[in-house]
Structure 1
Amino acid sequence: SRTLSLPLSPSPLHPESCKNSPVKAIQQYSPAHTDAVTSVAALKSDLCVSGGKDKTVVIYNWRSGAVLKRFLGHEREVTKVACVFESNRFFSASRDKTVMMWELSGNSGPSQHFPGHDLVVTGLAVSPDASQLCTGSRDNTICKWDIETGECLCRTAISRNLVTHLCWVPGEPYIIQTSEDKLIRMWDSRELQVAHTFPGKQHIQTYCDVSHDGRYCISSSNGFAGEGCEATLWDLRQTRNRVREYKGHFQTIASCIFLPKSLGLTPVIATSSHDCMVKIWNQDTGACLTTLCLEGSGPLASLAVCDSSALLCASFNSGIHLLRINSAKGLELQEAAKF
C-alpha cells in the first residue's frame, strides 16, 4: 500500500533555504538506527524512543549518547512511536498493519499486540492516563483499544479518511486527527464519534499537536515550492475556527509541536519540513523567530520536546538531531549532537 511516508532521497531545496547556515562542531554519537528515522518521542527526562525504516524501536539516552535497548518485532518499517511522558510503556505503529506495546524494563519483544487494521498504521495516540490507545490507518478507520487486554473496543470508518496523525487533547476525552482528505477532525473517544470537523484546507494535512492547556491545536500541510507548506493554529475552546497560519517553509511540513512556555513569555511553536529546516514561530503573531537548516539531512520527519531548552528532530539521512534552544538573546536554535 502507498503511504504518505517522506521520500528517502533529499528533496531539492529552495535556492535560499540553507544560505549562510553556520558550521559548528556537532557531537556525533552512536547512531540509533541503520536507516531513515521516521518518528521520535520523549519518554523520560533523559530518554527518547524512536522508530525507523530498519523496523526497530530504540530507547536512547540523548544526554549521554547511549543506546539503552533495541526492540524487535515489526516486519516492516515503523511509522510512528508514542508514549505518555515519564511512563515505562511505549507504542509503535508500522507498515506491517500492526501496533505493538513495549516495556522499558521488559525483554526486547513486544508485551502487547494490536492487530486489526487492513493497511499501514499512520496514527497513534495514548490517553493521558495511559489506559487506552487510539490508532488510525490508511484503511480509513480509527480504532480504540484496551491497553491491558489488547481488545479492540471500538472501530469507526469514514470514507476517504486516510489518517496521517492522531493526538490526544490533554485532560479531555477528545482526539485530534489529520487526514489526506485535507480535513482535521475532533473525535470523542468515549463512543469514537466525530465531535467536530474543522474547515477544510487546500492541502493534505500531515500532522497535529495540541497545546498543554488544551486550548489550541496546530496542524501542518504538505506542499511544494512554497505552495501549501504552512502550519495552521486552530481554536479548540471557543469558535473552533482557524486562528493563524505560519508560512515560510518551501516544502511539506512533516511535524509541528507546541514548545514549553518556560522558553519565554511568548508562546512558541516549532515545525520541521522536507526542506531540511526547523523553524520556531511566535504563536501569537505568526512571525518566524529563528530557522535552523540541517543541510544534507534529507526530509525532517518528526520533532519531540526533550526539556525546556532541547528538541529532538528525526531525519531520513542523518539520524536524530539534538537541537538546543538559546533564549538568552532572543531565540536561537543550534545543533548540538546527532545520533
Structure 2
Amino acid sequence: MGKLQSKVKRNGSKYRAESRREECAPVQLPRQHSRAHNDAVTYIAALKSDLCVSGGKDKAVVVSNWRTGSALKRLVGHEREVTKVSCVFGSNRLFSASRDKTVLMWDLHGKLGPAQRFMGHHLIVTGLAVSADCRLLLTGSRDNTLCKWDVESGQCVQNTGICRNLVTHLCWVPGESYVLQTSEDKMIRVWDSRDLQVAHTFPMKQYIQMHCDVSQDGNYCLTCSNGFGGQGCEATLWDLRQTKDKVCEYRGHLQSTASCIFLPVGMCDTPAVATSSHDCTVKIWDQNTGACLSNLFLDGAGPLSSLAVCDSSSVLCATFNSGIYSLQMDRSKGAALRQVLNF
C-alpha cells in the first residue's frame, strides 16, 4: 500500500490554479464584441483618448475604439507576426515591429499601406521607442543591435551592438534623450539616444528581463522578469536618478511577468503599478510598499501579453486566447479591476 501511494504524483500547478481562483473575487462577464485579431494579441498601446493600437500573430496592426470594442482600421503589411507596437499618445503616427525583421510606420488618417519602412535588422525586431516629437525612432532586435532611425527619411543614422544583448523591450524616458532597455542577458541599460551609448546600467537580475516602463515624471522605471513556479516572475522598481540598487520588488505571480506599467496619478488612492503574467492574472501593486492591492484572474485568456493605460480609470489587457480586455478600476472597492469589454 505504501509503495502504491509513493507512485501517486500530485499536479502542483493544478492546485495552484485552483487556489488562484479562490483568491480572486468573481467578476461579471464582459460584453463580447468581434475580435480585433484572429490569433494571439502580442502587444497593445493607447493611441488617443478612445483609440488603441494592437499587434498580433495574425500579422496585422489594428486600430480599435476601446470604449465600444469596434475595430476601425486593419493595417496589413508585415509578412510575419507583429511583436511590438508603439506610438506617441495623441499623435497620428504608429509603429509596428515584426518577426519579419522590419519596422513599419502607419498614418492613422492616411492610406492603409505603410507610410514608411525601416529595414536593417538581421533578426526579429523586439524593441520600439519613438521620441515625443516623432522624429526619431529606436529599434532593438535579437541580433544584439540597436538602430536609430530618421523617421521622415526612413534611414538608419546610427547603430550599435553589444554581445548577447538580445533586446526584449525599449521605452523612451519622458522629456529626456534617454531610452530604457531590457534584455535576455538579464541586464537593464539606459541609452543616450544622442550618441547611442550606454549611459547607465542597473545591477544584473537573476532572470531574463521581459518588459520595461518609465513613470511620467521620468524619475522611476519598472522592469519585469520571466520565471516559473513563482521563482523570478517579479517586477522591480528602480530610481533613474541613481543606479545603485532596486527601490522595491513586486512578487506574487506564478509564471513569467510579461508586462509592467505605471498607473496614472489618482487612479488609485496611492501611487500604483500594474503587472500581467502568463499565469492569467493582472495585479495592482502599491508602488511604495510592494503590497498587492488587487488581483484579477482572466479565466481561459491564456498567457497575458501586454497592458496599456487608456484613461484615469481604464486599463487594456492583451491576451493569447481571448483577444483584448478592457478593464475598469472600481474605486469603491479599493483598487479592484472589473471586466467591461472583450474584443
TM-score normalised to structure 2 length: 0.94
Structure 1 residue 239: deviation in Å? Answer: 4.5
Q: Specify the alignment match of 1:254 in structure 2.
A: 258
Structure 1 residue 106: deviation in Å? Answer: 1.1
1:180 to 184, 194, 202: 184
Select the structure that is richer in helix.
2
Residue by residue, what CA displacement relative to the aligned partner does 1:268-326 show, whole Å, maximum 9, x if unpaired?
Answer: 00000000000000000000000000011000000000100000000000000000011
When residues 57 and 136 of structure 1 are mapped into structure 2, their CA distance, relative to the original with a 3 A threshold, is same
1:299 paired to 2:340: no
Q: Which amino acid aligns with 2:47?
A: L
Q: Specify the alignment match of 1:314 in structure 2.
A: 318
1:76 paired to 2:80: yes
1:235 to 225, 239, 242: 239
Q: Specify the alignment match of 1:108 in structure 2.
A: 112
Q: Specify the alignment match of 1:14 in structure 2.
A: 16
Q: Specify the alignment match of 1:96 in structure 2.
A: 100
1:44 paired to 2:48: yes
CA contact (8 A) 1:13 1:250 kept: no
**1:136-151 superposed matches below 5 A:** 136-151=140-155
Cα RMSD after superposing both structures: 1.2
2:173 to 158, 169, 175: 169
User: Separation in 2 of the partners of 1:49 and 1:174?
Assistant: 24
User: Separation in 2 of the partners of 1:210 and 1:265?
Assistant: 20
Structure 1 residue 262: deviation in Å? Answer: 2.0
CA contact (8 A) 2:191 2:200 kept: yes
Q: Which moved more, 1:75-84 or 1:255-264?
A: 255-264
Q: Specify the alignment match of 1:225 in structure 2.
A: 229
Partner-residue secondary structure (3-state), 1:90: strand
When residues 334 and 79 of structure 1 are mapped into structure 2, their CA distance, relative to the original with a 3 A threshold, is same
1:86 paired to 2:90: yes
When residues 22 and 176 of structure 1 are mapped into structure 2, their CA distance, relative to the original with a 3 A threshold, is same
User: Separation in 1 of the partners of 2:140 and 2:231?
Assistant: 27
Structure 1 residue 330: deviation in Å? Answer: 1.4
User: Separation in 2 of the partners of 1:335 and 1:240?
Assistant: 39
Structure 1 residue 237: deviation in Å? Answer: 1.1
Q: Specify the alignment match of 2:10 in structure 1.
A: none
Q: Which amino acid aligns with 1:22?
A: P
Q: Specify the alignment match of 1:3 in structure 2.
A: none
Structure 1 residue 162: deviation in Å? Answer: 0.2
Q: Specify the alignment match of 2:129 in structure 1.
A: 125
Q: Which amino acid aligns with 1:95?
A: R
Q: Specify the alignment match of 2:5 in structure 1.
A: none
User: Separation in 1 of the partners of 2:58 and 2:185?
Assistant: 29
1:333 to 321, 324, 337: 337
Residue by residue, what CA displacement relative to the aligned partner does 1:92-113 show, whole Å, maximum 9, x if unpaired?
Answer: 0000000000001111110000
2:214 to 203, 210, 217: 210
CA contact (8 A) 1:142 1:156 kept: yes
Partner-residue secondary structure (3-state), 2:266: helix
Structure 1 residue 17: deviation in Å? Answer: 2.0
Alignment identity in percent?
A: 66
1:195 paired to 2:199: yes
User: Separation in 2 of the partners of 1:45 and 1:17?
Assistant: 33
CA contact (8 A) 2:147 2:158 kept: yes
User: Separation in 2 of the partners of 1:320 and 1:261?
Assistant: 24
Structure 1 residue 327: deviation in Å? Answer: 1.5
Partner-residue secondary structure (3-state), 1:18: helix
Partner-residue secondary structure (3-state), 1:280: strand
Q: Which amino acid aligns with 2:167?
A: V
User: Separation in 1 of the partners of 2:323 and 2:72?
Assistant: 16
User: Separation in 1 of the partners of 2:101 and 2:128?
Assistant: 12
Partner-residue secondary structure (3-state), 1:307: coil
Q: Which amino acid aligns with 1:17?
A: R
1:271 paired to 2:275: yes
When residues 13 and 29 of structure 1 are mapped into structure 2, their CA distance, relative to the original with a 3 A threshold, is farther
In structure 2, runs of 5+ residues without a counterpart are 1-12
CA contact (8 A) 1:14 1:275 kept: no
Q: Specify the alignment match of 1:284 in structure 2.
A: 288
Q: Which amino acid aligns with 2:159?
A: R
User: Separation in 2 of the partners of 1:288 and 1:331?
Assistant: 10
